[in-house]
A and B are shown apart, each in its own frame.
Chain A
Amino acid sequence: MTAKSDLLGRDAVNPHEEWLMRHSEALKSTRKTRFETSSGIEINPVYSPWDLEKMGWSYQSDVGFPGEEPWTRGFSACGYRQRLWDIEMYAGFGSAEDANKRYRYLLENGSTGGVSIALDLPTQIGLDPDHPLASDEVGQIGVSLMSFEDIKVMFDGIPLEKAGHVFTTGNCIGPLAAAWFLALAEERGEYPGCFTLQVQNDPIKEYIARGTQFLPIEASVKLATDMLQYVSENVPQWLPISISGSHMKQAGASTVQEAAFTVCNGIAYVEACLAKGMKIDDFGDRIELHFCTEMDFFEEVAKYRAVRKIWTRLVRERFGGTTRKAQMFRLHAATSGRPLTAQQPLNNVSRITLQALEQILGGCEQTRTASFDEALGIPTELAARTSIRINQIIGHETGIPDTVDPLGGSYFVEALTKQFENQIREVVAEVDALGGALAAAKSGWFQRQLAKGAYREQCRIESGEQIVVGVNAFRSDEPPPEQTFRVDPSAAARQLAKLNALRERRDKVRHTAALARLREDCAAGVNVMPAMIEAVRARATVGEIGALWREVFGEYRPQSERF
């Protein structure tokens, strides 16, 4: 049968439509009524050149070649043929001594992405371990760092140059985190540019999703961009900001929203920098955009390809970037802990493998990989090592990295990339109309979008519409796994003892003077970094600096909301 018109007598205009008509009966017998990506984009039964034609797609303007505008196929011409992606393992717990042991273990076992430091909550929120709100949480979900003394212990026996890349979150304490490592390089007599310090330093998404904010949002953005400015001017090898979509997605954003909200927050930081008199041509390549990779395979690949295109175009068209350097942001991907299940935890090895593959096929140069026991607690050494091996297997056994952007030209992936680009732009325009990211965060607009998404997904899982293997389908009666990591319970007491000893031992005159200067500079509105570095040298603690900021800038207060 070769039908060339549909039941209404409309003529098929191309071979794709002819095919749809020829197989219209067969195409009706599907296992779902609608196929869609996790963001709700409808998926067709098959894609062909005519889908791209209909979208006005062109190879040169939409895709181009690797290492060239519009950067869809990647920032480097040689891709993973030059070098494989960096394998970065995020870790940290207990005291600086405990964390030091884990970092050495990871470096010895093939982690090529340097040292990636998880901070405990008191450190992130600017509280010392003896603060009444902090006492139960010291060293629990990350390492407790109180002062410069802890930074020295944490890097004992780890040469900065060998670590190569040091990452930490420090979203609302960005200037302090940078000052710690400037002081460490200074004390070791090394040039700080001999390694790359990277601080997430993205407070806006804390107010939206991650929750370590403790100052008014404007003050947090001011501090974050002070650090960004100081670092880009003084240690251009460092990466002073990693604008993160990952946490918003894990809190309920769709993949389109994850990408779009990150771009919106990025616009807010760049605008704050431009207002300080900075030029995008000088710091564009110091910006990282960070996302997390979940289970919808092609959507994630499309996201990474679309984001490269969108951000670089914004840099050119909205911020007046003229150089290649201005556009070369760093694209970072991490497999998401959220799809990992506590039930049948070994299934997570396969989830992590697929996610790792998605971010590699999306062309991300730097990737982080979660561990299969993350739904149960801090990863064990076995689980962390297995994640390193997943990357090595993809890198060395599969041939996947041997050509650049191997999914480029897939009709489906190209169509999805274009659809992603269009949808992200629409959301950015919507947030612009709300007054930008800060206004949308303050009014709770972002937060409501995330809560809606999270509730929708939970309802879909409970109704069985969305299947999570081992959770709402294919369950088995297994005893819960025994091997979960436990933080040494003495860590908090050890930190308290060290804190008290430090307060006795440090040079009190220098300490008082340094804090007085920091207070003056904060109040005067000048860049806080020079005073922050001196405060760190004088052994000011995270709690003292947090308290000083709260006094000068005011404190974030939670607000009750009625559902």
Chain B
Amino acid sequence: MTTNDTFTQPLRVVMTKVGLDGHDRGVKVIAQAFRDEGMEVIYAGLRRTPDEIADIVSQEDADILGLSILSGAVVPLTRRVVQALAAREIEDVLVIVGGIVSDEAREELRGIGVEGVFGPGASLAEIIRFVNENAPDRSMPA
């Protein structure tokens, strides 16, 4: 596993809910799966604003930001988070989104640079593979 390699730091992940939806079963399952993969995971909880999320990503120096949204407002909410990250010049964080996402919304998310979108039925293995392949390369000599 790249994440456990002695020559790389473990990936740092911030997971959070965005918007008002409070269903956090899925986001916690994925947080635990990332943890079991050796990543360092912080779950920031419910109802975080885009600015708060961007601040947490910056404070935690995260490689990956996982957003969980089940309420149907996935595109505008993700867009605001991406804008808040850009406003802080945070460019090397991989944003992934989980929730109920229509094909149309998936296309729109791709348009704002979010490729990792996982809906109902996505497997943990598939999400972990995507993250390992797409996380920003910050390997440091040991």
| Chain A positions near chain B (C-beta within 8 angstroms) | 121-122, 125, 127, 132-134, 136-137, 140-141, 206, 210-213, 250-252, 341-343, 375-377, 450-451, 454-455, 458-459, 462, 471, 480, 484, 487, 558-563
Contacts and interface: CB of A to CB of B under 8 A. Distances in A.
17 contacts: A134-B20, A136-B76, A137-B73, A140-B72, A211-B21, A211-B24, A211-B46, A211-B47, A251-B25, A455-B28, A458-B33, A459-B124, A462-B124, A558-B44, A558-B46, A561-B42, A562-B43
A133 B49 contact: yes
Nearest to B103: A480
Given A140-B72, A342-B120, A455-B28, A560 B45 contact: yes
Contacts of A251: 23-25
Nearest to B41: A563
A43 B101 CA distance: 39
A134 B45 CA distance: 18
B18 to A, nearest CB: 10
Contacts of B73: 136-137, 140
B98 to A, nearest CB: 12
A558 B100 CA distance: 23
Contact of A563 (B17, B23, B34, B102): B34
Given A121-B71, A342-B120, A343-B121, A454 B28 contact: yes
Contact of B44 (A140, A343, A377, A560): A560
Given A133-B47, A558-B48, A487 B72 contact: yes
Contacts of B44: 558, 560
Contact of A342 (B31, B41, B119): B119
A121 B20 contact: yes
B120 A375 contact: yes
Nearest to A121: B20
Interface in B23-63: 23-25, 28-29, 31-35, 40-49, 56
Given A136-B76, A341-B121, A462-B124, A559 B32 contact: no
A336 to B, nearest CB: 13
A134 B21 CA distance: 11
B43 A561 contact: yes
Given A133-B47, A137-B20, A563-B41, 8 more contacts: A141-B72, A251-B23, A376-B100, A451-B29, A455-B33, A484-B102, A558-B46, A563-B31
Contacts of A377: 72, 100
Contacts of B28: 451, 454-455
Given A341-B121, A342-B121, A458 B76 contact: no
Given A137-B73, A140-B71, A211-B46, A458 B21 contact: no
Interface string B91-123: 000000000101100000000000000011101
B77 interface: yes
A104 B36 CA distance: 50
Contact of A252 (B25, B76, B102): B25
A247 B43 CA distance: 20
A206 B120 CA distance: 23
Most B-side CB within 10 Å, residue of A206, A211, A459, A462: A211
Contact of B42 (A121, A141, A560): A560
B1 interface: no
Contact of A451 (B32, B41, B46, B123): B32
Interface string B64-81: 000000011100110000
A122 B73 CA distance: 13
